[in-house]
């Protein structure tokens, strides 16, 4: 049993690669819900959906998010009405949000609805929202307090951030399935997702960090920073704005005390000794998952 702490796109790619080299049913993903939002009355879970769509082979490679074969009729009508259309919801994607919102309204919890959506999509990996309680990642910025999607999508993560708050995290309870997946996994993997805004909102949920500290020797992390930059998204920028070193070493320090083994990219081979001095094991390999072979090699490294 392998358990992966997961944000969106980077985690989805690692999970997909892991499915190529092990039985998907032996794989659990504990997924960030700090980006979740209610918009138009609909509950939207971007990280859960990105992973589900990717593992089902339905992800839209051209856009880099959402579903393939997507259409935009509803959004174009909503534009015409002058509605809030900055968060683009495709027609296919909307069906997911309608389904989830209806089921939550009927009293199902997010964990149950996620399982139902995975079953429908034929996804065998166990996707586990870290908590069924409300958690909201928010940003102090020059424009005031922003929610995750306001920062990320509406303002294209271009506004300067002075602090990140994971509102509700300390009162949120991890689900029993999450605690189980953390305790029983032979290995816990931290995906190359944004440490500050994808993984930290998982770690801040009561008790999660403690288990990682206890199980540190079994924790493997893949650096999301390669040669001082993030492949995608604002991880590099946020590290700098929040006073961290913008390198794989900065990420290693951010996860201090939680990780036994680091996987860093070949481009950062010169930093391997510096990382090793932090008292962790280091593996150097290709961490870019653009090519399937590279991704599978990374997956095997993570499992080795």
Interacting residues toward its own copies by CB under 8 A: 38-43, 71, 73-75, 77-78, 80-84, 91-92, 94-99, 101-102, 104-105, 117, 120
Nearest to its own copies of 97, 187 (CB atom): 97
Nearest to its own copies of 21, 42 (CB atom): 42
Instruction: At 282, give phi and psi (nearest 5°).
Output: -130, 135
H helices of the chain, where?
A: 9-21, 46-55, 73-81, 91-105, 110-121, 148-149, 176-184, 200-203, 208-214, 235-241, 248-254, 272-276, 292-303
The nearest distance, CB 84 to its own copies, in angstroms, is 5
Nearest to its own copies of 75, 205 (CB atom): 75
Beta strand 136-141 with 144-147 is antiparallel
Nearest to its own copies of 23, 38 (CB atom): 38
The nearest distance, CB 93 to its own copies, in angstroms, is 8
The nearest distance, CB 102 to its own copies, in angstroms, is 4
The nearest distance, CB 63 to its own copies, in angstroms, is 17
Q: What is the DSSP string of 46-97?
A: HHHHHHHHHHTT-B-TTTSSSBTT---HHHHHHHHHT---SS---HHHHHHH
The nearest distance, CB 116 to its own copies, in angstroms, is 8
Nearest to its own copies of 89, 271 (CB atom): 89
């Amino acid at each position: 049993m392998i358990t992966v702490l997961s944000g969106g796109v980077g985690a989805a790619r690692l999970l997909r690669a892991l499915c190529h080299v092990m039985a998907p049913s032996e794989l659990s993903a504990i997924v960030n819900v700090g980006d979740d939002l209610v918009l138009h009355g609909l509950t939207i879970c971007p990280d859960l959906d990105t992973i589900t769509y990717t593992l089902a082979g339905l992800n839209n490679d051209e856009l880099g998010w959402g579903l393939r074969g997507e259409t935009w009729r509803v959004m174009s009508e909503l534009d015409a009405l002058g509605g809030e259309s900055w968060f683009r919801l495709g027609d296919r994607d909307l069906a997911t949000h309608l389904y989830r919102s209806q089921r939550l309204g009927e009293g199902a919890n997010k964990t149950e609805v996620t399982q139902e959506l995975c079953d429908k999509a034929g996804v065998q990996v166990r996707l586990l929202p870290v908590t069924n309680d409300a958690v909201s990642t928010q940003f102090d910025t020059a424009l005031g307090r922003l929610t995750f999607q306001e920062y990320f999508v509406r303002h294209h993560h271009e506004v300067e951030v002075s602090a990140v708050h994971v509102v509700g995290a300390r009162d949120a309870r991890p689900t029993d399935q999450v605690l189980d997946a953390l305790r029983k996994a032979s290995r816990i993997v931290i995906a190359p997702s944004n440490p500050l805004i994808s993984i930290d909102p998982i770690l801040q949920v009561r008790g999660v960090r403690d288990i990682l500290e206890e199980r540190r020797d079994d924790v493997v992390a893949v650096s999301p920073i390669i040669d001082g930059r993030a492949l995608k998204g604002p991880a590099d920028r946020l590290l700098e704005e929040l006073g961290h070193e913008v390198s794989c070493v900065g990420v290693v320090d951010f996860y201090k005390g939680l990780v036994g083994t680091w996987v860093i990219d070949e481009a950062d081979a010169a930093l391997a000794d510096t990382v090793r001095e932090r008292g962790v094991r280091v593996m150097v390999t290709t961490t870019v998952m653009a090519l399937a072979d590279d991704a599978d090699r990374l997956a095997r490294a993570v499992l080795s």
